[in-house]
């Protein structure tokens, strides 16, 4: 019922855009707050629909999958959570999907963060992954199957110091357990004992620093999950082979969920993003049609809301 109503509302909202076009051409552009209402509807309505748009898997996401599927059970994977809640809608679904995959395939996960909020985002991802029946059945133990080393300040210097010894930067884990008392960290001295690094990043310090220090200097194998804003900046590293794969933005997250067969939030959020993009494209087209029909006589400005 809700889904049907949302679909009808979407069609109605779409049709009203024609009226907006008419008004704009006539030189009576709509107010800014009307545009805000359109954006709000375009984000909220799709969240009520139960549609999963068909999504092709791009090569960048397949590369991430190809690299993690060859990891043997017991492989040690370092997960760096370098983001905070505003970026969570894009990055958290990737992290949850990755955690579910890692736990189901008996990979040993070592979590850390160069952002203060990162380890708490990781904790939430682990909690959500644990809700999966297959993961829950494994009865995984913190300290044995996964560990959260927490946050350390120092940006790229943390990565650099970890190159010689992890313990220097993380003498205790996030639950204050001494490094030497964590069973999972036994025999883990530095990056040479890590099989794979997965970085979830939304800015600095993040993927760029991990590539420059972790990959270039210490030779770690790494893929990254980035926000749509950051992804264009890390593409050069992918082409150069320094990054093994990229999950870019919401579409990257949704594709990753699909390729891992772990459908989650990203698939729903992608629909909202799709509608929001459609609305923004519609407004760009309306604005430009009015601009050209008006013969560039005058600049279109909306009345300011006082």
Contacting residue, 13, 48, 62, 278, with other proteins by CB under 8 A: 278
Binding status of residue 209 toward other proteins by CB under 8 A: no
Binding status of residue 17 toward other proteins by CB under 8 A: no
The C-alpha R_g of the chain, in whole angstroms, comes to 23
**What residues from 116 to 175 belong to the interface with other proteins (CB under 8 A)?**
117, 119-120, 123-124, 127, 150, 152-155, 157-158, 160-161, 164, 168-169, 174-175
The residue ranges of DSSP E strands in the chain, in sequence order, are 76-82, 108-113, 146-151, 196-201, 222-226, 246-248
Q: Taking the complex as a whole, how short is the minimal distance between the CB of residue 105 and other proteins, in angstroms?
A: 25
Give the C-alpha separation, 196 to 215, whole Å: 11
Who's near 16: CB < 8 A, 6+ residues apart? Answer: none
Binding status of residue 28 toward other proteins by CB under 8 A: no
Contacting residue, 223, 251, 267, 268, with other proteins by CB under 8 A: 251
In the structure encoding, which two tokens stand for residue 159, read together? 């990565």
Q: Taking the complex as a whole, how short is the minimal distance between the CB of residue 73 and other proteins, in angstroms?
A: 27
Binding status of residue 47 toward other proteins by CB under 8 A: no
Of the two residues 1 and 11, which places its CB atom closer to other proteins in the complex? 11
Interface pattern 171-200 for other proteins (x via CB under 8 A): ---xxxx-----------------------
3-class SS of residue 125: helix
CA 160 from centre of chain: 25
Give the C-alpha separation, 126 to 295, whole Å: 57
């Amino acid at each position: 019922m809700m889904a049907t109503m949302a679909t009808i509302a979407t069609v109605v909202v779409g049709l009203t855009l024609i009226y907006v076009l008419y008004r704009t051409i006539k030189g009576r552009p709509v107010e800014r707050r009307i545009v805000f209402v359109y954006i709000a509807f375009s984000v909220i309505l799709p969240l009520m629909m139960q549609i999963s748009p068909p999504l092709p898997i791009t090569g960048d996401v397949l590369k991430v999958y190809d690299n993690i599927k060859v990891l043997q059970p017991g492989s040690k994977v370092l997960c760096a959570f370098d983001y905070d809640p505003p970026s969570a809608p894009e990055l958290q679904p990737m992290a949850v999907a990755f955690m579910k995959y890692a736990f189901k395939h008996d990979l040993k996960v070592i979590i850390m963060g160069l952002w203060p909020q990162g380890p708490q985002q990781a904790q939430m991802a682990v909690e959500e992954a644990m809700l999966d029946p297959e993961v829950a059945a494994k009865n995984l133990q913190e300290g044995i199957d996964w560990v959260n080393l927490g946050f350390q300040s120092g940006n790229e210097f943390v990565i650099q110091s970890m190159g010689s010894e992890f313990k220097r930067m993380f003498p205790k884990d996030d639950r204050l357990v001494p490094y030497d008392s964590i069973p999972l960290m036994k025999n883990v001295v530095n990056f040479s004992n890590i099989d794979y690094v997965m970085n979830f990043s939304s800015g600095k310090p993040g993927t760029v620093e991990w590539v420059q220090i972790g990959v270039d200097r210490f030779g770690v194998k790494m893929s990254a999950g980035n926000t749509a804003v950051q992804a264009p900046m890390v593409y050069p590293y992918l082409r150069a082979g320094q990054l093994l794969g990229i999950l870019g933005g919401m579409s990257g997250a949704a594709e990753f969920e699909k390729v891992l067969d772990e459908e989650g939030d990203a698939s729903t959020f992608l629909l909202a993003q799709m509608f929001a993009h459609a609305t923004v494209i519609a407004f760009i087209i309306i604005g430009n049609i009015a601009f050209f029909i008006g013969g560039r006589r005058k600049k279109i400005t909306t009345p300011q809301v006082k």
